[in-house]
């Protein structure tokens, strides 16, 4: 029997790519609901996808995860959920903390409660590297969200809740790549710190990872991809052969380097091949399942500055690939 899927934040960069992937590859979903609060973005996405042969599978549902009643309606007859809705700008969070709490934390709890009541079979929530050892409000809200989804498995019955944590998505809306693309004509690049490093994942990689996790998660894991990092100055050089650097200073809440697995998390982290999996320490059933995999070393730490780096040549190719997609 074909299943139905709902994606919150379905008009965002990831949401659009995920939906496009499903309908381009003839997924066996009977119905795909795009749930978001911006009717204009839904209008634009409808236009983009309207000529696809599987467009009839799509449903566009205006709603906000802050509104549990609306979620209850949207989740009727849904089997799987991808939770991509969040507000994400690090510096904005420092000045508007309550808005981030309402969406990223209260909204997550609303979705959990509604999913349990609607007997959703599996939910994958998207997180961020900023949730590991957070120093900013956005990261702290996503850490709380992650904890909510992981702990929901303790009382959710047959519902399965898992989390995907990954780094910066190259070329997504608001990403540094998008910002630098606007700088290359003038050759003047504003950066916050010359030593900065970041994890990097493409939209295609993130989509394939979430599809894998949707198929394989057993509930309670935080999945982390094995991906490369880049140095911010190398990214600048990939955009311009002779750039001028304008240092503007660290933004409120910004890190020099990102982290996806802290040393404290390492004690419950397993290497499962293409990914790492952080397990809830209090859940003996899931720990028993993962015994066939190898634990990471005791003092393991997965940081963007202590990682394999993309070369300038590889970054140039990423930029070219991204520009070709926009044509």
In a domain, 315, yes or no: no
Examine the residue annotation and report whether 313 is marked as an active-site residue of this protein.
no
pLDDT digits (tens, 9 = 90+) for 118-169: 999 999 999 999 999 999 999 999 999 999 999 999 988 889 999 999 988 9
More confident residue, 204 or 291: 204
Average pLDDT over residues 240-261: 92
CA distance to 77, 188, 229, 248, 327, per residue, from 185 (Å): 50, 8, 25, 19, 18
The CATH number covering residue 215 comes to 3.40.50.720
User: 35 lies in a domain?
Assistant: yes
Catalytic residue chosen out of the listed positions 130, 142, 231, 255: 130
In-domain check, residue 123: yes
pLDDT in tens, 40-54: 999 999 999 999 999
Q: Which residues contact 90 (CB under 8 A, 6 or more apart)?
A: 130, 136, 138, 139, 251, 252, 253, 254
β-pair type (58-62, 29-36): parallel
pLDDT digits (tens, 9 = 90+) for 293-317: 999 998 899 999 999 999 999 999 9
One DSSP character per residue, 278-318 reads E--TT-HHHHHHGGGSEEPPTT--EETTSS-B--HHHHHHH
Percent of the chain with pLDDT over 90: 82
* pLDDT band (50, 70, 90) for residue 62: very high
Question: What does the pLDDT average to over 242-247?
Answer: 93
pTM: 0.94
In a domain, 242, yes or no: no
Q: Tally Cβ neighbours within 10 Å of residue 241.
A: 8
What's the domain count of the chain? 1
165: in domain: yes
Tell me the average pLDDT of the chain: 94
The answer on pLDDT for 327 being more than 70 is no
Residues with Cβ within 8 Å of 205's Cβ and at least 6 positions away in sequence, in order, are 225, 227
- Angle ∠(187,191,194) on CA atoms, nearest 5: 110
- Model pLDDT, residue 113: 98
Q: Is 322 domain-assigned?
A: no
State how far the Cα of 132 lies from the Cα of 93, in Å rounded to an integer: 17
Which domain does 71 fall in, by range?
3-169+201-226+260-300
Residue 56 placed within a domain: yes
CA-CA distance, 127 to 302, in Å (whole number)?
Answer: 16
187 in Cβ contact with 240 (< 8 Å): yes
Q: Residue 132: inside a domain, yes or no?
A: yes
């Amino acid at each position: 029997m074909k299943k139905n899927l709902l994606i919150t934040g379905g008009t965002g960069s990831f949401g659009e790519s995920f939906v496009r992937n499903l309908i381009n590859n003839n997924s066996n979903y009977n119905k795909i609901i795009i749930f978001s609060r911006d009717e204009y973005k839904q209008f634009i996405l409808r236009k983009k996808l309207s000529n696809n042969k599987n467009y009839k599978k799509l449903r566009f549902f205006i709603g906000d995860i802050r509104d549990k009643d609306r979620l209850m309606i949207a989740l009727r007859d849904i089997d799987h959920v991808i939770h991509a809705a969040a507000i994400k700008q690090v510096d904005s969070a420092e000045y508007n903390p309550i808005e981030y709490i309402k969406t990223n934390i209260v909204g997550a709890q609303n979705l959990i409660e509604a999913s349990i009541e609607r007997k959703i079979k599996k939910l994958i929530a998207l997180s961020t590297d900023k949730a590991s050892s957070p120093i900013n409000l956005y990261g702290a809200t996503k850490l709380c969200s992650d904890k909510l989804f992981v702990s929901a498995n303790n009382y959710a019955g047959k519902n399965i809740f898992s989390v995907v944590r990954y780094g910066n998505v190259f070329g997504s809306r608001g990403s540094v790549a998008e910002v630098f693309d606007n700088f290359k004509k003038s050759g003047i690049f504003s950066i916050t710190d010359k030593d900065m490093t970041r994890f990097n994942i493409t939209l295609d990689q993130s989509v394939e990872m979430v599809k894998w996790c949707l198929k394989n998660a057993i509930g309670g894991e935080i999945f982390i991809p094995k991906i490369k990092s880049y140095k911010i100055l190398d990214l600048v050089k990939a955009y311009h052969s002779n750039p001028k650097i304008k240092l503007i200073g660290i933004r409120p809440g910004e890190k020099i380097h990102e982290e996806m697995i802290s040393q404290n998390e390492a004690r419950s982290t397993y290497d499962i091949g293409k990914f790492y999996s952080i397990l809830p320490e209090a859940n003996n059933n899931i720990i028993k399942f993962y015994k066939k995999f190898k634990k990471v070393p005791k003092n393991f730490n997965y940081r963007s500055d202590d990682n394999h780096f993309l070369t300038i040549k590889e970054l140039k190719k990423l930029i070219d690939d991204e520009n070709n997609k926009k044509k």
